[in-house]
A and B are shown apart, each in its own frame.
Chain A
Amino acid sequence: MIRRHGPWTRITHWLWAVCLFFLLLSGLQIFDAHPALYLGQQSGMAQGFDNAVLRIGTEGGQGAAPLRGVTQVFGHDLDTTGVLGLSGPKDARQPRAFPGWATIPSGQDLATGRVVHFFFAWALVGTLAVWAVASGLNGHLRRDILPGRRDLRGLGADIRAHLGGPLPHGRRYSPLQKLAYFIVLAGLFPLMILTGLTMSPGMDAAWPWLLDLFGGRQTARSLHFLGMALIVAFFVVHIVMVLAAGPLNEMRSILTGRYRIRSQPDATEEE
């Protein structure tokens, strides 16, 4: 049994869990107010000017053609009836981009979605700041997050190990683990914060470089959506890995800090 996670790592972990939960569901609520994504400064909504990369809506409904949910990605139509575009019970389908079970509040309510989103956006920024300072001071950042040369060298072996079945419960984070957390914390979180700010006309006046950095407000909005999808993907992998590694041990370590490792401490321990 070792002490795996420091108190700040554990506290910020759960703050993030709460923030991301509310940010995701309120974000989908906001998206539903105009369920289309574009590239550039503005949204092409007129004849002859279409710069949309994603559109979620409904089609049909007249005559014999039944109403169906359609998701258009880069011009390709996908039938997503039941989930995207048209959802709800079979006999009472509702036209809605993301369904009610995926949004806060469950009904269409942009105002409340925004109130929730911006509160938890501030909370996320605060958590990130606390985490960065604490992790810098207690060594978590250097030890567990920043991938070093040794991690990059061990990456191939680690990928093979992950594909190959049961993983050793080492004292240290594995190279893939480090890389995953590094990408989320140093890549995706800053991307989400900056693209979020680029959607704000007030911030675009204060920091005009935001618009140039992302190639326009609408591109920033699309990147914000893409970043969301990547964070959701990270979450899914994160949960799968927790389940694969033994959920009780993992859960204990992120609640109390105590973590059981197999046999001897990591043989490759250096420091």
Chain B
Amino acid sequence: MNRRTLLRLGAGTLATLPLAGCKTFDFLSTPDDPARGVLMSANRLTEEVQSLLQGRDALARTYTEADIRQPMRPNGSTHPQAADYIALRKGGFAEYRLTLGGAVSTPLSLSLADLRQMPQQTQITRHDCVEGWSCIAKWQGVRLSHLLDQAGVKPSARYAVFHCFDALTTGLSGPQYYYESIDLRSARHPQTILAWSMNGAPLPVANGAPLRLRVERQLGYKMAKYVKSITLVPDLAGIRGGKGGYWEDRGYEWYAGV
């Protein structure tokens, strides 16, 4: 066999490889596939290593007013259809109450006016979407740790769960409302705020009015919009799909620092 024949043979083999196609690995999309479980375990490693490298309070990069060069791009829900939300929106959110409960000593119920009277924090940060894009905007609101201190978090609590007004899909059991969860380390991070203002104006409906979460060291899907209530819980297993969030129940990683 001469070199020319070999070349031709080799090239032929190589050319057919891609045609065999990547449908071969489509089974990895199946939620309960054991191989997917193995691959997904890398997310725990990422979380552990990043939390080690970060320390507790390492801050996300903050930017200047000059870096705000476009309106904040809305993503996910932009116009919630739930009846209770529509009623609140029509009333200018005057009747809105954020409730904070679960494993706390004093459950809270706070109006927007209450939140505006609390110590405020403003930050210009970069929003990183899981899709790959980034957008810089200014956020103002109350540190979540301030609310946690007021409510008194019980030792059993490990996660803060955010329940929202918006539903991206409707299932057999009705609208699938958005929810998210973060651990107390993220909840108490100095840049984790509940924002009612964006770029110097009240939060627009498309961006999560009246109140949204900012968790600046993680991706956008952790930052629940249209927050209705916050519950402190010892674990996530019993809640909805059990994975800790709307997108997590649909295959995304719980730790979204990457």
Task: Tell me the A residues contacting B by CB distance below 8 Å.
Answer: 25, 30-31, 33-34, 36, 38, 41-46, 49, 100-107, 109-112, 114-116, 118-119, 121-122, 199-208, 211, 217-218, 221, 239, 242-244, 246-248
Contacts and interface: CB of A to CB of B under 8 A. Distances in A.
A107 B30 CA distance: 13
Contacts of B136: 41-42
Of B67, B71, B134, the most chain A CB neighbours within 10 A belong to B134
Given A112-B28, A221-B132, A46 B18 contact: no
Nearest to B73: A45
Interface in B46-98: 46, 50, 53-55, 58-61, 63, 67, 69-71, 73
B126 A110 contact: no
B219 interface: yes
Given A42-B126, A106-B26, 12 more contacts: A41-B67, A43-B133, A43-B134, A118-B46, A201-B217, A202-B257, A211-B61, A217-B126, A217-B128, A243-B11, A244-B7, A247-B10
B201 interface: no
A229 to B, nearest CB: 16
Given A200-B258, A217-B126, A208 B251 contact: no
A115 B28 contact: yes
Given A116-B28, A203-B257, A221-B132, A25 B7 contact: no
A45 B70 contact: yes
- In the A-B complex, the 5 residue pairs with the closest CB atoms: A202-B257, A111-B251, A46-B70, A34-B132, A43-B133
Contacts of B23: 100, 105-106
A26 to B, nearest CB: 9
Interface in B207-246: 216-219
Contacts of A204: 60-61, 217
A115 B251 contact: yes
Interface of B: 3, 6-7, 10-11, 14, 18-19, 21-23, 25-26, 28-29, 36, 38-43, 45-46, 50, 53-55, 58-61, 63, 67, 69-71, 73, 126, 128-136, 216-219, 247, 250-253, 257-258
A244 B73 CA distance: 51
28 contacts: A30-B132, A33-B131, A42-B135, A45-B135, A46-B70, A46-B73, A100-B22, A101-B22, A104-B22, A104-B28, A105-B23, A106-B21, A107-B29, A109-B29, A111-B252, A112-B36, A115-B28, A115-B42, A119-B39, A199-B132, A199-B258, A200-B50, A200-B258, A201-B218, A204-B217, A205-B60, A206-B53, A239-B10
A103 B134 contact: no
A113 to B, nearest CB: 9
Contacts of A205: 54, 58-61, 216-217
Given A112-B251, A118-B43, A202-B257, A46 B128 contact: no
A204 B53 CA distance: 11
Nearest to B21: A101
A115 to B, nearest CB: 5
Contacts of B26: 105-107
Contacts of A45: 70, 73, 133, 135
A206 B47 CA distance: 12
A212 B189 CA distance: 23
A248 B43 CA distance: 40
B157 to A, nearest CB: 23
B39 A44 contact: no
B29 A112 contact: yes
